[in-house]
């Protein structure tokens, strides 16, 4: 869900309308401008168990992932995120960053 080019009030109203219509899975990414912050504001006050939350993070080394996970939790204003997608595994270096010991996948498993 990328809503960076609309006023914040409109973005929040869009999410609230989606909730009213029964939509319960929201997907965003740290690379989608300010969408994590806006989605966090829109979902604030709703029962956390009533929706599924997915965000995407590009492959980096372990320490970056730990930081990215914490930053996403803060921006989304939640205690947990249901799904973290490793997004943009485009070359051998990304595969290494993701799957090696101390890599991104290890950071996600520990989160």
- Are the C-beta atoms of residues 66 and 74 closer than 8 Å to each other? no
Per-residue pLDDT of 19-58, as tens digits, reads 999 999 999 998 888 999 999 999 999 999 999 999 998 7
Q: Where are the domains of the chain?
A: 8-110
pTM for the model: 0.82
32 is catalytic: yes
Give the C-alpha separation, 75 to 69, whole Å: 10
Assigned CATH for 8-110: 3.20.20.100
- Are the C-beta atoms of residues 8 and 41 closer than 8 Å to each other? yes
Out of 32, 62, 65, 80, which one is annotated catalytic? Answer: 32
Per-residue pLDDT of 77-107, as tens digits, reads 999 999 988 888 888 888 888 888 877 778 7
């Amino acid at each position: 869900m990328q809503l960076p080019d609309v006023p914040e009030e409109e973005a929040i109203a869009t999410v609230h309308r989606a909730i009213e219509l029964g939509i319960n899975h929201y997907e965003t990414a740290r690379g989608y401008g300010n969408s994590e912050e806006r989605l966090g504001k829109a979902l604030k006050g709703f029962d956390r168990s009533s929706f599924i939350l997915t965000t995407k993070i590009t492959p980096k080394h372990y320490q970056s992932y730990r930081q990215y996970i914490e930053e996403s939790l803060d921006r989304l204003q939640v205690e947990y995120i249901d799904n973290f997608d490793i997004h943009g595994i485009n070359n051998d270096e990304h595969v290494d960053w993701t799957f090696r010991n101390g890599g991104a996948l290890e950071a996600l498993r520990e989160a």
